[in-house]
Structure 1
Amino acid sequence: MAAKILIVDDEVRHGEVLEAALAERGFEATSTNTVAKALTYCTSHAVDLVLSDLRMPGQGGSDLLKALKEQQPELPVIIMTAYATVRGAVDLVKDGAFDYVAKPLDLDDVVATMARALRLKAVESENARLRSELEGRYRFDNLVGDSPAFRDVLRQVTEVAPSRASVLLLGESGTGKELVARAIHYNSPRRDLPFVAVNCAAIPETLIESELFGHVKGAFTGATGAREGRFAAADHGTLFLDEIADMPLPVQAKVLRALQEQSFEPVGSSKSVSVDVRIIAATHKDLQKEIAAGTFRMDLYYRLAVFPISLPPLRERTDDIVLLANHFLAAAARDMGKRIKGLTPEAQAMLTRYRWPGNVRELQNCMERAAIVARGDLVGEGDLLLFEATGDAAAMPHTLDGDLDGELARIEREFVLKALKDNGGVQARAAEKLGITERSLWHRIKKLGIKIDKVAGAGDG
């Protein structure tokens, strides 16, 4: 779609010539000869860029820029000026004009300057759209739940969000700790600044210090250039340290110092870097046990746990299960372009009876799969893939006192293996059966160490 350009020049003939020249270059150009007419036009028409002369009788380019910055601050303005008045144009750039072009005009220079302005406008518009989408996604009213346990979480999130206090989120895997962390950020004064998430368990011990604090060129073998760390990337925003209990002790010491002093040294550097970062940390482990075992620093715990929030497992939020299921089902159906009204009473009862070892994350995955396989406008029992539905209900513990992540990995492995075997090792069909993408299935196969050449036979590697 052609960009819409408004030319403002008191020399009517000059404006018309430029209008025609820009039209030949693929722009949709219109010209006018006064500031008043330009402002009226911008009010009633969509305009992507304004190209204005600096000096005109009465009101000039500076008056137009000032008015547009008040009315449409996102609209780029380029000033046309004779060489004798370049200084005035430079002052206008300081006041918010995108750039200036000198008269007599070089059309290639004009078009190149316009292209830069339009690219920047497009990037800013996309960033604003994404920011609005993120803020909408993490509004408090999108944290779904009406159970007393979850209402208590919402109350705490509402209390702590406006502050700069460190927050420690505690809860089993899949309870929505990152969702809550993002909700805190996007409802805080830092909402327009970076939210940087780091999964401490997913980064090798040898790399985590560099990942968090960056490094200088030559700091270690393979450091061919300087690299900014996550603390610096989150400056003035929020840094989310997920699975903080898996952070190595030496790195915990450096994180503690960074929190206390709001400064750190990149790996291989003796120069301190100052930052203003709010920390939200999360873990599914019992940090008191980790402290007793000597694997987590007590002083770091107290620095992080200024405002601890415990997220209840889904089995303790029975009243929320159907609410959440309908929420996830509606989102999945909308993304797939399917018309699904909801769940049958039998399906609702089945979901409520289930223990949800994978918590909210497992429920979301279950609803996404159900939306794929559902043939009617209601999801029934046959559309739900649950652990208990495999016939191993007796093996499902009512309390999970062991390794939850290990148990979930075992369940996931069984599901993937069964889907692959049922479909002769064909990943596309297995992925469809599981209700996930083929790429997602490939990542799971790699993570779980499944050998495809043995799947259709007796072994699984």
Structure 2
Amino acid sequence: MARILVIDDDHPYVQSMTEWLRFRGHEATGMAKPPQTATVRGSYDLVLLDIYLADGDGFDALESYTTAGIPVAMISGAADASNAVRAIKAGAIDVLEKPADPERLEVTIALAQERANRARSDRAGRTAWLEERLYAGDGVFALLLDSIEKAAATELSILLHGPSGTGKDPLARWAHFRSRRCDGPFVAINCAAIPVELAESELFGHRKGAFTGADRDRIGCFAQASGGTLFLDEIGELPLPLQAKLLRTIETKEYRAVGADSFSTADVRIITATNRDLHAEVARGAFREDLLYRIGQMPFAVPPLSNRTDDIPGLARFFLRRLLERGGSQDVDMDEDALAYLRTRRYPGNVRELKSIIERAAALSTDRHITAALLADLDRSGWNPHRAGSPFDFDTPLPLKDAKRLMELAYIERQMFLTGGSTARTAELLGVLPNNLSRRLGELKAGD
């Protein structure tokens, strides 16, 4: 049995087709106009969509549905080879002439069911993959996950705010996988890592010749995410002029690519994240208040690890188990003293820092056993801003220029430590290009 939606403005045809489908044992619903993509996704295994509708052709709906992974077969009362080719290129699984041949229609339905089953399997696999990367625990984070899952069932925008390293990216993916848009694309963009002059093109795309270097058309993040979810990380770093365009696009679902003459549409669910206090940014004129209320329909505070101390032992075991499953280390265990040490330690880098500590300890343990003594040694050998021996001494008078240089160097080196020495990841977090970060490190170390 398949769940089938018939979309046609010919009411008698819709009635006869749905009755025939029910007679064949399928669930069938008829509509005169194409509903929103989010309404269709997950509710039907196949859409039978008329090419010619009273309000225009069905190709706009076809593009939106197929982008979201919804199987669509086009139907038409007139044979037209050009429309058939256009429909197949746009993603239709078949093009049927009225009246549809029953045997061919059943083959089309079987193909759609196979695709729907495969999509459900892929969805289950993605959820399992994400669950392996999110440790809920029994406290505030478990409650947060539950609340986000409830919000995911709506179409309201979600805002995740909290310190860096707390897990906002996997939480955004969790919301997407738990939503009706889960079979659609999930597109993530770090607003802090986009050069200001290219930000509009990244979001909305551009046409060939729109600016120097635009040698071909390029689709932006909104077009890529149509039918799914667009995750705007570090939304607080978006330039003010672009905030106005983003607000208009969210409200109207219309955008204009750079250099384009007309507007395009995108059916997108917005999730944003920030480590800034956006209300304070509004007060100082750095963020639009109307945009904040639009993206913050469902705001969630992501707690720092200092508010999840009861979860630290479970998180530590979780990261160690994942490391062993990936073959990143030999069989290593961790004693209770080590877990107790981890609970008393401070984590300015939050969950990301705890993960890094576990990976270092597993790699350096000599007897396949992580102890409190080993963890303490690692803290003494690495930089910890909450102990003596920090690379910047606040008590020693220095010329202001030198103090700024050493503080910046200490901060960048700390971020490099938290990302396991990854220049690319550190550059992304700091909102700069990797080559610029490497050059800046060299300048700071040379005393520039």
Compute the TM-score of the two structures, normalised by the length of structure 2: 0.63
1:356 paired to 2:347: yes
Partners of 2:206 and 2:424 in 1: CA distance: 33
2:224 & 2:301 partners in 1: Cα distance?
28
The 8 Å contact of residues 413 and 448 in structure 1, kept in 2 or not, is answered as: no
Matches within 5 A, 1:44-443: 96=107, 132-139=124-131, 143-336=134-327, 338-381=329-372, 383-384=374-375, 385-386=378-379, 390=383, 393-394=387-388, 410-411=410-411, 413=413
In the alignment, residue 265 of structure 2 is paired with which amino acid? Answer: S
Between stretches 169-178 and 340-349, larger displacement belongs to 340-349
SS at match of 1:299: helix
Letter in 2 for 1:362: E
CA contact (8 A) 1:372 1:435 kept: no
Q: Against the structure 1 CA distance between its residues 247 and 144, is the aligned structure 2 distance closer, same or farther, given a 3 Å change threshold?
A: same
1:164-195 CA distance string (max 9 Å, x none):
11000000001100110000001111111100
Residue 301 of structure 1 aligns to a residue whose secondary structure is helix
**Displacement of 1:328:** 0.7
Distance 1:437-1:371 versus aligned 2 partners, 3 A rule: farther
Moved more, 318-327 or 153-162: 153-162
For residues 307 and 388 of structure 1, the distance between their equivalents in structure 2, rounded to whole angstroms, comes to: 43
**Per-residue deviation, residues 296-340 of structure 1 (Å, max 9, x unmatched):** 000000001100000010011100111111101111122126443
Percent identity of paired positions between Structure 1 and Structure 2: 38
Distance in 1 (alpha carbons) for counterparts of 2:267 and 2:381: 48
2:210 alignment partner, SS class = coil
The one-letter code of the counterpart of 2:368 is D
2:57 equivalent in structure 1: none
Question: Which sections of structure 2, spanning at least 5 residues, go unmatched?
Answer: 1-95, 109-113, 391-405
Determine the structure 1 residue equivalent to 2:438.
449
Contact 2:424 2:434 in 1 (8 A): no
Q: 2: CA distance between counterparts of 1:210 and 1:150?
A: 36
SS at match of 2:230: strand
Aligned residues: 325
- Report the Cα distance in structure 2 between the residues aligned to 1:243 and 1:304, rounded to whole angstroms: 13
- The letter of the residue matching 1:170 is H
1-structure distance, mates of 2:136, 2:284: 36
Higher-RCO chain (CA-CA 8 Å, sequence separation at least 6):
2
SS of the residue 1:336 aligns to: coil
Cα contact 1:150–1:312 (8 A) shared by 2: yes
Q: Which runs of 4+ in 1 moved over 4 A?
A: 90-97, 123-132, 387-392, 406-409, 414-417, 434-448, 450-455, 458-461
**Matches of 1:296 and 1:442, distance apart in 2:** 23
Contact 2:423 2:437 (C-alpha < 8 Å) held by counterparts: no
CA deviation string 1:70-107 (max 9, x = no partner): xxxxxxxxxxxxxxxxx99x97887658xxxxxxxxxx
Contact 2:136/2:145 (8 A) holds in 1: no
Q: Secondary structure at the match of 1:240?
A: strand
Please report how far the alpha carbon of residue 287 of structure 1 lies from its aligned counterpart in structure 2 after TM superposition: 0.3
Counterpart amino acid of 1:136? A
SS at match of 2:326: helix
Is the Cα contact below 8 Å between 2:139 and 2:311 reproduced in 1?
no
Distance 1:409 1:193 in 2: 42
Paired with 1:387 and 1:291, the residues of 2 have a C-alpha distance of 41
Distance 1:415 1:156, change over 3 A: closer
Secondary structure of the structure 2 residue equivalent to 1:175: coil
8 Å contact 1:147–1:317 — kept in the other structure? no
Larger Rg over CA atoms? 1
- Separation of aligned partners in 2, 1:208 and 1:151: 35
5+ residue gaps in structure 1? Answer: 1-86, 98-120, 397-405, 418-433
CA drift at 1:147: 4.7
8 Å CA contact 2:205, 2:258 repeated in 1:
yes
Return the letter of the residue paired with 1:198: I
Instruction: Say if 2:185 and 2:226, in contact at 8 Å, map to a contact too.
Output: yes
Q: CA deviation at 1:374?
A: 2.3
Q: Do the aligned partners of 1:195 and 1:240 also contact (CA within 8 Å) in 2? A: yes
